Chain A
């Protein structure tokens, strides 16, 4: 790849152009979060002022706690369910329909999922609250976990399971001692993915949320409706830091998975 790039200068240019397009807005936002002035058009020295205002803003803190509850809960549930679904699909079926249906929630437009879930909750007369967002998030993050774990399963050796049985292990022991550890990197990657997806999910949360427990993205939305304040820049920078770290860890895990 690098050889190819060094030979074709125009390709390199396109590459850097693409990255600039992707990252300049983000870097501008990060830079602004440290700008002491209120307006992005005035530069007034480096400052942590907006970060300080941010952590004293009770709306933001409340939203953050709500988001962390939803993200943690949905990650735990979707990781367990998604892993089980992936193992089940891998072992007991070759049906392309079942496989497609298991992964579909990841691709279905959020708005469709959001409206659908809202309709379902209404039908079941479930009053909306944090838990309704949590379960809604499980629906789509489970599909992501399933996809990641299934990809790993495709690479694992079915003979490992047979070897374990051959050496006298029961089915349970084989699952706990052989299958799970060899899936661990993929499960962890799936969990991190589920966590970051839930962390900044807006559309579905917007539809399935109760009035008194907004998640962080909803809080941010209500804040920016009347203009972007530098406080939001600070918040966005922090969120990005968390997402980036998670994505990098997830990628490293997937790479570890592939190397074996």
Chain B
């Protein structure tokens, strides 16, 4: 059974300035019902501004935000069916965990027993039943986050915004919370929008990711498509590792000034002139003799247990080339090898001034 996904949020032509700095530049986005959506980008790309506009803390210069067809732009934060989990959690220090969570429900003037049962229920969902009476200062980082999450979802918002939800946690708690967030999203059936600068975080949790670049949306896609079919060299560089070659587009690939013809795939796109060729480390391999290949020297071998990464250097290029191989490798430092790749997996991308000559 597949139904056409419905849009929950429609963002149209949002532009916003901070003083003379353009934080958002004509951003349009659709966020679907019940999806786990991520806004990904480096700091200063406008993702936090977009989040604050969605929450109602900033009024955009121009453009509109609609939620299921209702225009939200003029609605203040306290009247929106949207809740935000703050990066700092912003738990009220003078209130117990229970009072923190009940706060939002009390503002809706719900009957006391309903508030109590909903607080109990959400505490059970996040696994903190025994902490109702604790103060936020008595909790660990992970527990505080659960309280912040509980406080937001107990309101049963249409949309939950999460600002860098995992950044304040240490590594172990981080991966635990990552699974937990995903489970919760499925369980409560609320649309989640996560803002993050961490591509792994976005890739592992989100159904779809919008990569933001300098106040604009660079590309919106599923994690797999973003990785395998990036639209621009910038997105390709931001998501995962990659080997980039610069050259001029020819029918079979690109013409590199010292390496000659490098075969690649255009994926039906109309690209001409200067271009980049992207090959992911796992799509590179060491060639058997006789194949079309580039001679290279092994600079370093990094063994990670499940996989190894070879760092190679080739003549006429300063940046190293990364080759990822499953398991251990027989190559050793200083060895002469031949490098090749499948044309299918090498992607030709239009010239991007943000990625200068490699």
Could you tell me which A residues sit within 8 Å of B by CB distance? 157, 159-160, 162-170, 173, 177-178, 181-182, 184, 260
Contact = CB atoms under 8 A, between A and B. Distances in A.
Given A162-B77, A181-B94, A167 B83 contact: yes
A71 B152 CA distance: 46
A210 B165 CA distance: 64
Contacts of A166: 55-56, 77-78, 83-84
Contacts of B55: 162, 166
B104 interface: yes
A159 B77 contact: no
Interface of B: 55-57, 76-79, 83-84, 86, 88, 90-94, 103-104, 107-108, 137, 151-152, 155
SS class, residues of chain A in contact with chain B: helix
Contact of A159 (B76, B88, B108, B151): B88
B137 A260 contact: yes
B88 A169 contact: no
A168 B81 CA distance: 9
7 contacts: A159-B88, A162-B57, A162-B90, A165-B57, A167-B78, A168-B108, A260-B93
Nearest to B151: A167
Q: Which 10 A/B pairs are nearest by Cβ-Cβ distance?
A: A167-B104, A168-B107, A163-B90, A159-B90, A165-B77, A181-B94, A165-B78, A169-B107, A168-B78, A159-B86
B122 to A, nearest CB: 13
Contacts of A260: 93, 137
Contacts of B91: 163
B147 to A, nearest CB: 12
B98 to A, nearest CB: 14
Given A162-B57, A162-B86, A163-B84, 7 more contacts: A165-B57, A165-B78, A168-B78, A168-B79, A168-B108, A170-B78, A182-B93
Interface centre among B83, B90, B104 (most CB of A within 10 A): B90
Contacts of B88: 157, 159
A164 B137 contact: no
